[in-house]
Amino acid sequence: MAKTAQIDVKDNDLLGALRDLFRAVLAQDAIQAILVPRRLPMKNGVMPTLITDPEQLDGADPLAPAFPINGAKVVSRLTRKASGGKVAAVMRPCEIRAFIELVKLNQGRTEDLVIIGVDCLGAYRNTDYTRWVGDDMDEATRKFVTGVLGGGGGAADGVDLAPACQVCEQPVPRGADIAVGLFGMDTDKRVLLEALTPAGEALSEGLRYKKADPPLPRRKEIDRLVAERTAARDTMFAETHEATDSLEKLTGYLANCVNCYNCRVACPVCYCRECVFVTDVFDHEPVQYLRWADQKGLIKMPTDTVFYHITRLAHMSTACVGCGQCSNACPNDIPVMELFRSIAHRTQLGFEYEAGRSLEEKPPLSEFREEEYPEVVGI
């Protein structure tokens, strides 16, 4: 059973209480640095930042509705090899799940890492956040947090949560060593701190917060939110299926793709050092384009766009965590996330697998199961 404590919030300053928590974590002898979303000094934006100076935590803002990059990729870079020091990483639930997949793919390690998960309130699209935030970033974050935790959702000033966040049924950080609970809490006064692993317990003991049980409204609020998001997700699945249930429809769905490959670069679990689509395999000779055009009288350029997405679906549907960074990165607003989540959901159900659920679960196709898919293999 998780060990729980409460973090007192002074003067209704939730961000201040979280920054104090991060300072206390960084002050621990075992922790050399902390990775946390921090405001950029040169622009009104938020990016994952590796901090060793406690004073620099004044700009930490893990509650801002900004999600420019899935931090699992950053944590992978920090942990792929031994660094000589331990890092505490503040991560959203989808970032934690993506990192778990990367560890199973030998792209990251947990030995020199402590994960601090925070209940996720959602985020805006990159362009929406930049337009919405204004100059007072503290006030913008407070306004957003008040709206979400007050039951009003994440919409503010004509901006709504990114589509991936609206259908995310996993807002609580499973897989973390320490979890910060916001849902169902009176966050003007206190938030919940849960130690979920032995590493989390070891760290939390040095933080010296007062022990406390989770309040009863917390479970109820989480259940309500999950039910609401699950219903929205299922509606999205049905609409996406209707829009892509034939090759003709799928071609239309992806018609604006320009082969920029931004979705591949932004995807936290797409980790290949060399992608087949940037090799000579798809560097066609000029005469080939003319032959294709001659066959039908015309050919859309660039070519291979649908094949590119089908290939990525085949590669990534077992590991997709639904973070939405693919859509966030698309310059032409193709609803890539909706397609990938829909296919990934069915693929993972078929393998009785959930991406990022546990380090102990082996990825599909990486092990042989004698009784798997008997209706296909005929055994």
Supply 10's token pair: 């002074």
Are the C-beta atoms of 214 and 4 separated by less than 8 Å? yes
Nearest to 53 by CA among 76, 10, 22, 14: 22
Q: What is the SS3 assignment for 75?
A: helix
Supply 24's token pair: 């206390």
Supply 204's token pair: 């939390």
Cα 32 off chain centre by: 25
- Helices 336-350 and 305-316 cross at an angle (nearest 10°) of 40
Compute the chain's Rg from CA coordinates.
22
Tens digit of pLDDT at every position of the chain (379 positions): 578 999 999 999 999 999 999 999 999 999 999 999 999 887 888 999 999 999 999 999 999 999 999 999 999 999 999 888 899 999 999 999 999 999 999 999 999 999 999 999 999 999 999 999 988 898 999 999 999 998 888 888 889 999 999 999 999 999 999 999 999 999 999 999 999 999 999 999 889 898 988 888 999 999 999 999 999 999 999 999 999 999 999 999 999 999 999 999 999 998 887 788 888 777 888 998 899 899 989 988 888 899 999 999 998 899 999 999 999 999 999 999 999 999 999 999 999 999 999 999 999 887 777 777 677 655 5
For the entire predicted model, the pTM comes to 0.92
Q: What is the SS3 assignment for 51?
A: strand
Supply 292's token pair: 């294709």
Are the C-beta atoms of 228 and 165 separated by less than 8 Å? no
CA distances (Å), origin 131, targets 44, 64, 67, 128, 212? 10, 14, 14, 5, 40
What is the pLDDT at residue 156? Answer: 84
What is the pLDDT at residue 276? Answer: 81
Nearest to 336 by CA among 359, 317, 362, 358: 317
Provide the residue ranges of all domains of the chain, joining segments of one domain with +: 3-230, 238-377
What is the pLDDT at residue 135? Answer: 86
Are the C-beta atoms of 154 and 160 separated by less than 8 Å? yes
